[in-house]
């Protein structure tokens, strides 16, 4: 093991330990909202204070070490860094509801590739996604309630594999992205932690 790998492992262990402490405090104090009467944000800020006390400047620039951008659903059950063996500084992560490829996803990927040197793209959708139960009716209900039609699509879907294929196609055919040779898509199983590739 190299020194770099060893220090990466120890900093990952420190982060995992810090998270466990936060969770334990949340449990023992009746939930994250109740800590000292503070809000969940207060709780997170307290965690950050502890994090910063142990933090050492990694001396990196903004270019991801592995030259990869990961586009994934925002789902709370997916720990991208742990699931993909990624360390601090390794990749760009672009997350939204569904991990879908919107204009804004393309904006981030374009900056990632053209300004910050990434070459590969990985898409991560998953089992049990909240978007699988949503339809465009959600958008219509919203319009009826607030009197304004949102400019964005809900991007709901029924077939997760098909949704990954559609997202792959959008990345591969984007005129703004110079590097589309290594674009692969996966479904993450939230029960097993395994990735299944969609081709």
Q: Which residues in this chain contact Zn ion in the complex, by CB under 5 A? A: 73, 75, 129
Burial 113-134 (b: 16+ CB within 10 A, else e): beeeebbbbbbbbbbebebbeb
Q: How far is the CB of 78 from Zn ion (least distance, A)?
A: 8
Q: In 10 A of CB 196, how many CB atoms?
A: 15
* Three-class DSSP category at 181: coil
Q: Between residues 160 and 183, which has the closer beta carbon with respect to Zn ion?
A: 160
Q: How far is the CB of 126 from Zn ion (least distance, A)?
A: 6
Q: Between residues 78 and 91, which has the closer beta carbon with respect to Zn ion?
A: 78
Q: Between residues 18 and 134, which has the closer beta carbon with respect to Zn ion?
A: 134
Q: Between residues 81 and 119, which has the closer beta carbon with respect to Zn ion?
A: 81
* Three-class DSSP category at 98: coil
Helix (H) or strand (E) holding 195: strand 195-198
Q: How far is the CB of 131 from Zn ion (least distance, A)?
A: 6
Q: What angle do CA 146, 159, 122 make, to 5 degrees?
A: 95
Q: How far is the CB of 156 from Zn ion (least distance, A)?
A: 11
């Amino acid at each position: 093991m190299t020194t770099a790998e060893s220090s990466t492992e120890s900093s990952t262990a420190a982060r995992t330990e810090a998270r466990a402490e936060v969770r334990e405090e949340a449990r023992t104090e009746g939930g994250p909202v109740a800590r000292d009467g503070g809000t969940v944000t207060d709780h997170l800020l307290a965690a950050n204070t502890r994090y910063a006390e142990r933090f050492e400047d990694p001396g990196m620039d903004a270019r991801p070490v592995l030259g990869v951008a990961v586009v994934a659903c925002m789902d709370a059950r997916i720990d991208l860094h742990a699931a993909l063996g990624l360390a601090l500084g390794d990749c760009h992560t672009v997350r939204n509801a569904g991990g879908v490829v919107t204009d804004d996803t393309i904006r981030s990927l374009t900056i990632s590739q053209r300004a910050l040197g990434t070459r590969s793209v990985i898409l991560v959708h998953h089992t049990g996604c909240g978007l699988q139960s949503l339809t465009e009716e959600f958008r219509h209900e919203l319009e009826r309630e607030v009197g304004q039609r949102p400019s964005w699509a809900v991007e709901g879907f029924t077939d997760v594999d098909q949704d990954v294929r559609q997202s792959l196609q959008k990345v591969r055919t984007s005129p703004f992205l110079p590097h589309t040779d290594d674009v692969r898509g996966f479904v993450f199983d939230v029960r097993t932690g395994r990735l299944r590739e969609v081709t």
